[in-house]
């Protein structure tokens, strides 16, 4: 990491320490409570949660229908719901098809389905991604190695304080011959955001 990177991280940590000190002083939260919450998140938020929902949808048409109708309820159904989100935040699942490809962004900040996709990648929070994927989604997807035909419509979903989105990618040909664990390995975080697609050449 460059010296400037260390400097920025140091400034950020200093600000966090000041805020924590103020919160403790006012009886809002303690450092121990913050550490406990971060530790809990580290063991419960993961892209494996979203992958489990996708793989279940690949293998169970009835579950797939429920997932697309009410993703929050479908997540609860297999024990991967919530992550501490309030009931005001709704999870939506959007499914790729041969005719339509979905990709997720948050243009205003970096709203993201943390509980189901794990910690957001740095590029998702960047100004470059947030502005460009709306204007030129095909170009951005191509930079991730996802090149779509001209006959495929690209739909960009803008997350908000009330809504989070999870992409259900298409199952690659031959996936039915794989074990559940092998199928799970195909569904990466980037697939769940929509900038990548599962491939049997990746993860197995």
Find the DSSP H helices in the chain: 3-25, 31-44, 47-59, 61-69, 71-77, 114-117, 122-125, 127-135, 137-143, 180-186, 189-193
> Is the Cβ–Cβ distance between 198 and 144 less than 8 Å?
no
145/138 Cα distance (integer angstroms): 10
pLDDT of residue 34: 61
pLDDT tens, per residue, the chain with 204 residues: 344 443 444 565 567 677 778 878 888 877 676 655 554 555 467 899 999 999 999 999 999 999 999 999 999 999 887 644 545 678 999 999 999 999 999 999 888 888 899 889 999 999 999 999 999 999 999 999 999 999 999 999 999 988 999 999 999 999 999 999 999 999 999 999 999 999 987 544
pLDDT of residue 28: 84
pLDDT of residue 1: 37
Superfamily of domain 45-193: Nitrile hydratase alpha /Thiocyanate hydrolase gamma (3.90.330.10)
pLDDT of residue 201: 76
pLDDT of residue 169: 98
* Residue 191 annotated among the catalytic residues of the structure: no
Name the residue ranges covered by the structural domains of the chain.
3-43, 45-193
Angle between helices 61-69 and 47-59 in degrees, nearest 10: 130
* Residue 109 annotated among the catalytic residues of the structure: yes
pLDDT of residue 127: 93
Q: Which of 86, 110, 160, 191 is catalytic?
A: 110
* Residue 110 annotated among the catalytic residues of the structure: yes
164/106 Cα distance (integer angstroms): 9
Q: Which of 106, 179, 191, 201 is catalytic?
A: 106
* Residue 111 annotated among the catalytic residues of the structure: yes
The pTM (predicted TM-score) of the whole model is 0.77
């Amino acid at each position: 990491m460059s010296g400037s990177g260390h400097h920025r991280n140091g400034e950020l940590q200093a600000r966090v320490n000041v805020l924590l000190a103020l919160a403790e002083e006012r009886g809002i939260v303690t450092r121990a409570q913050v550490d406990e919450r971060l530790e809990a998140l580290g063991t419960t938020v993961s892209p494996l949660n979203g992958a489990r929902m996708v793989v279940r949808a690949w293998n169970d048409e009835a579950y797939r229908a429920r997932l697309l109708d009410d993703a929050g309820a479908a997540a609860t159904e297999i024990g991967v719901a919530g992550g501490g989100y309030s009931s005001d935040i709704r999870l939506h699942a959007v499914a790729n098809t041969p005719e339509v490809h979905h990709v997720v962004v948050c243009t205003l900040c970096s709203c993201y389905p943390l509980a189901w996709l794990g910690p957001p990648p740095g590029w998702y929070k960047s100004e470059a991604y947030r502005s460009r994927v709306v204007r030129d989604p095909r170009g951005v997807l191509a930079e991730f190695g996802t090149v779509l035909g001209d006959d495929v419509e690209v739909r960009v979903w803008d997350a908000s304080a009330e809504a989070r989105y999870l992409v259900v990618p298409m199952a690659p040909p031959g996936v039915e011959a794989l074990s559940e664990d092998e199928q799970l390995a195909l569904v990466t975080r980037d697939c769940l955001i929509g900038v990548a697609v599962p491939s049997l050449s990746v993860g197995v």
